[in-house]
C-alpha cells in the first residue's frame, strides 16, 4: 500500500542530547508504516512524534501518569477504539491518531543496556507506541501484554530488526 498520501508525521525536537537525523526520522516513518500495515489500518492518518530527554519525559510521566520518574516512551491516543468498528470514523478533520513522545536519552541507555543499536531501540519504541495509539494496552492484563508483545515482535521481524 502506498502510504505517502495517507500518512503525515509531525516531528518536534525538545532535547539537545542526541542529534535528530534524516535517517532517524525515516526509520520512525518505517516503523509507523510497518505497524499500520501489520494492523491493516487503511485510513488517512497523522501522528506526532516528539523527541525529549529524561527530564522532559519524567515531567510528562508525572503529569499524565502520576509516576515521578523517566520512562522511554509515552503514547497519547486521540481515539478510544472500543466500540462496534475496528477503526474510528475518520474524515479530513479527524485523522490524527495521537502523539508519541520518545526520550532519546533513555532509548540510548536502553540500547546500551540491551546490547543493540540505538536505531533498533527507537524503532521498537515507535512500534510499541503506535500499537498504543491503535488501541492496544499491555497494562490491562497478562493476555493483553502477551498479545502486544507478539505483535511488536512480528512487526520488528518484518522490519528486519528482531533480536535473535
Average pLDDT value for the chain: 89
Residue closest to 22 by CA, chosen among 11, 6, 37: 11
DSSP secondary structure code for residue 111 in this structure = H
Q: Is 22 exposed, middle or buried (0-12, 13-18, 19+ CB in 10 A)?
A: exposed
65-76: average pLDDT: 95
- What gap in Å lies between CA 21 and CA 77, rounded to an integer? 26
Q: What phi, psi does 163 have (nearest 5°)?
A: -95, 125
Q: What phi, psi does 13 have (nearest 5°)?
A: -110, 120
Superfamily of domain 7-158: Metalloproteases ("zincins"), catalytic domain (3.40.390.30)
Give pLDDT, residue 130.
96
Q: Which pTM was predicted?
A: 0.88
Give pLDDT, residue 6.
85
- The per-residue pLDDT for range 119-143, each reduced to its tens digit, is 999 999 999 999 999 988 877 778 8
- The per-residue pLDDT for range 18-69, each reduced to its tens digit, is 999 999 999 999 999 999 999 999 888 999 999 999 999 999 999 999 999 9
Instruction: Give the residue, 144 or 26, on which the prediction is more confident.
Output: 26
49: its cell numbers: 512524534
Amino acid at each position: 500500500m502506498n502510504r505517502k498520501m495517507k500518512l503525515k508525521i509531525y516531528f518536534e525536537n525538545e532535547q539537545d542530547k542526541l542529534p535528530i537525523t534524516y535517517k532517524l526520522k525515516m526509520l520512525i516513518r518505517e516503523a509507523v508504516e510497518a505497524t499500520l500495515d501489520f494492523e491493516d489500518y487503511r485510513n488517512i492518518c497523522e501522528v506526532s512524534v516528539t523527541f525529549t530527554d529524561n527530564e522532559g519525559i519524567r515531567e510528562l510521566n508525572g503529569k499524565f501518569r502520576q509516576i515521578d520518574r523517566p520512562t522511554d516512551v509515552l503514547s497519547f491516543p486521540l481515539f478510544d477504539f472500543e466500540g462496534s468498528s475496528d477503526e474510528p470514523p475518520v474524515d479530513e478533520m479527524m485523522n490524527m491518531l495521537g502523539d508519541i513522545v520518545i526520550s532519546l536519552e533513555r532509548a540510548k541507555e536502553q540500547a546500551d543496556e540491551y546490547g543493540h543499536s540505538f536505531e533498533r531501540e527507537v524503532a521498537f519504541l515507535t512500534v510499541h507506541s503506535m500499537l498504543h495509539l491503535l488501541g492496544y494496552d499491555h497494562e490491562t492484563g497478562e493476555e493483553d501484554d502477551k498479545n502486544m508483545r507478539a505483535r511488536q515482535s512480528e512487526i520488528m521481524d518484518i522490519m528486519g530488526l528482531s533480536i535473535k
